[in-house]
């Protein structure tokens, strides 16, 4: 899942069948847990009871172990644009083809970035080494390079900061760099233009690096702009190192006589990746689309984020292959989600309006087995969180209700999570496709109330290994994984079997 997960507020929900019945025409009844019976590979799982007997955590874990082995063989990562991702896509395709599907690979170019190492230190007037992730953060798509004891030159900075950050135009115009000494480090302040514009202007003026510090306001639409600035340049192109810092460090660096040493070693270039797609043909032209992103971040194997969602969707696809349902089911594994939801966006933008209109629902599964989990359902009825215009509709509300009904039937508690476009449903919701899905939490911290409700540890992240090397095969909870693969199977089959 992309960085910056939605904030959550707990909400205990009661079952409300009306919305899902209007959408799907059926309601699940409680199903006892049991091992998959013999013959699952050969029978037609065209009812909820049959399907849920044939999908379980053991089957999903088989896929997760394969993804872990792929990461282990490819530098510990399955990031788009790396051999680890290509091997992951090959694995999904091979499993689908063995089950009888015809598979499509939709290739596309995307901006690839991988930071290998960085360092940053003040050398004058008082030498001290700075800490990555605390004092500074290398910007995505930074250039590489090493700077040794270079002078820092402030460029049109405003100190103390104005109340309105829109009043800061530091580095936004080439004229800001008039007289800038080549070979110096440009110090620019967050303001009205993009970081990419500031860095490009600094580079053109002969700067050997650019340092962008936060603008200094404590409350800009609820945002603290004094904290560490973690930014992106949006795409490859910069040839000089670019880092973001806190406002306090920016103030310190603006003092006359300041010198720094800075080094960034990174890959920033355009690469190719792909989406993997397979269809279960239905009796009508209407489509239920089910998706999960297949890529990890470069820092780790991504077994929870998002091997868990990818493997659960693959488990359901294999179990449904012989079913003939009213609606076509289109299974999707997205590339380059971690680079900005690029695969799903590319896919939706490649569709005609008529093709988009045939998609009656999109179900998204991004991190469904977090080790310190909660059971989150995207807030498709807008009852707890604000959502972008057009996201919340009667049909998105019905999808939410469908998942609520399933959890209720199993005696499981759950709560809303923000439906704000921070995963692959964004492009679908933005195109008017009713969407929904499940999530078990990322870097946000579990509250004592949530620990009482779900178990686990209050005061720790839902996924303590989020976007780290430790997001490996040991970073999943098999109990919630088993519950969620059933929920995924139930929602998919219910929506696809609906004749209305």
Residues with a catalytic annotation lie at 337
Beta-bridge partners for 108? 273
Q: Which helix (H) or strand (E) holds 471?
A: none
DSSP 214-272: ----S-BTTB-TTS----B-SSS---S-EEEE-HHHHHHHTSTT-EEEEEEEEEEEEEE
Matching residue, tokens 């008082």:
126
Is the sign of the CA dihedral 407, 413, 414, 415 positive or negative? positive
Cα separation of 115 and 33, whole Å?
45
Nearest residue to 60 (alpha-carbon basis) of 94, 112, 95, 9? 95
Cα separation of 420 and 379, whole Å?
9
Cα separation of 486 and 495, whole Å?
14
**3-state SS assignment for residue 452:** helix
Cα separation of 453 and 13, whole Å?
13
Rounded to 10°, the helix 17-24/478-497 angle is 50
Cα separation of 120 and 132, whole Å?
8
Q: Residue 216: CA atoms inside 13 Å, Cβ hemisphere, count?
A: 20
Cα 477–Cα 483–Cα 486 angle in degrees, nearest 5: 135
Buried b (16+ CB within 10 A) or exposed e, 79-102: bbbbebbbbbbebbbebbeebebe
Work out the number of other CB atoms within 10 angstroms of the CB of residue 144.
Answer: 19
List C-alpha distances in Å: 201 to 177, 196, 258: 8, 9, 21
DSSP 52-104: HHH--HHHHHHHHHHHHHHHHTTTT--BTTSHHHHHHHHHHHHHHHHHT--EE
Nearest residue to 373 (alpha-carbon basis) of 293, 308, 286, 318? 308
Buried b (16+ CB within 10 A) or exposed e, 310-343: bbbbbbbbbbbbebebbbbbbbbbbbbbbbbbbb
């Amino acid at each position: 899942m992309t960085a910056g997960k939605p904030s959550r507020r707990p909400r205990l929900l009661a079952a409300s069948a009306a919305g899902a019945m209007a959408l799907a025409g059926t309601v699940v009844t409680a199903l006892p847990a049991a091992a998959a019976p013999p013959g699952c590979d050969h029978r037609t799982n065209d009812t909820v009871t049959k399907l849920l007997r044939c999908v379980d955590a053991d089957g999903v874990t088989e896929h997760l172990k394969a993804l872990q082995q792929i990461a282990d063989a490819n530098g510990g990562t399955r990031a788009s644009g790396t051999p680890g991702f290509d091997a992951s896509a090959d694995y999904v395709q091979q499993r689908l083809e063995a089950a009888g599907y015809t598979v499509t690979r939709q290739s596309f170019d995307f901006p690839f970035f991988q930071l290998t190492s960085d360092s940053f230190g003040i050398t004058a007037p008082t030498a001290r080494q700075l800490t990555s992730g605390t004092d500074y953060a290398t910007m995505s798509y930074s250039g590489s390079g090493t700077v040794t004891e270079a002078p820092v030159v402030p460029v049109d900075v405003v100190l103390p900061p104005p109340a309105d950050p829109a009043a800061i135009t530091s580095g936004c115009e080439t004229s800001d760099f008039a007289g800038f000494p080549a070979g110096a480090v440009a110090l620019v302040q967050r303001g009205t233009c993009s970081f990419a514009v500031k860095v490009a202007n600094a580079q053109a003026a002969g700067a050997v690096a650019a340092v962008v510090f936060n603008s200094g306001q404590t409350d800009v639409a609820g945002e603290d702009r004094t904290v560490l600035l973690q930014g992106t340049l949006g795409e490859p192109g910069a040839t000089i190192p670019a880092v973001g810092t806190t406002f306090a460090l920016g103030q310190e660096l603006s003092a006359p006589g300041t010198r720094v040493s800075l080094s960034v070693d990174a890959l920033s270039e355009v690469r190719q990746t792909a989406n993997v797609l397979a269809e279960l043909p239905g009796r009508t032209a209407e489509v239920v689309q089910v998706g999960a992103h297949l890529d990890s971040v470069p820092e780790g194997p991504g077994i929870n984020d998002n091997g868990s969602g990818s493997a659960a969707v693959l488990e359901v696809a294999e179990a449904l292959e012989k079913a003939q349902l009213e609606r076509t089911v289109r299974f999707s594994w997205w590339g380059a989600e971690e680079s900005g939801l690029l695969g799903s966006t590319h896919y939706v933008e490649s569709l005609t309006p008529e093709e988009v209109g045939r998609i009656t629902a999109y179900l998204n599964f991004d991190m469904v087995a977090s080790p310190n989990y909660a059971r989150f359902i995207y807030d498709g009825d807008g009852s707890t969180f604000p959502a972008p215009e057009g996201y919340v509709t009667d049909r998105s509300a019905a999808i939410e209700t469908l998942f609520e009904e399933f959890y209720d039937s199993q005696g499981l508690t759950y709560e809303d999570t923000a439906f704000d476009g921070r995963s692959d449903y964004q492009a679908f919701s933005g195109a008017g496709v009713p969407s929904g899905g499940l999530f078990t939490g990322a870097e946000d911290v579990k509250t004592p109330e949530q620990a009482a409700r779900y178990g686990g540890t209050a005061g720790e992240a839902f996924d303590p290994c989020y976007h780290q090397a430790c997001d490996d095969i040991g970073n999943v909870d098999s109990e919630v994984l088993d519950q969620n693969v059933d929920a995924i199977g139930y929602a998919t089959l219910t929506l696809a079997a609906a004749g209305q």
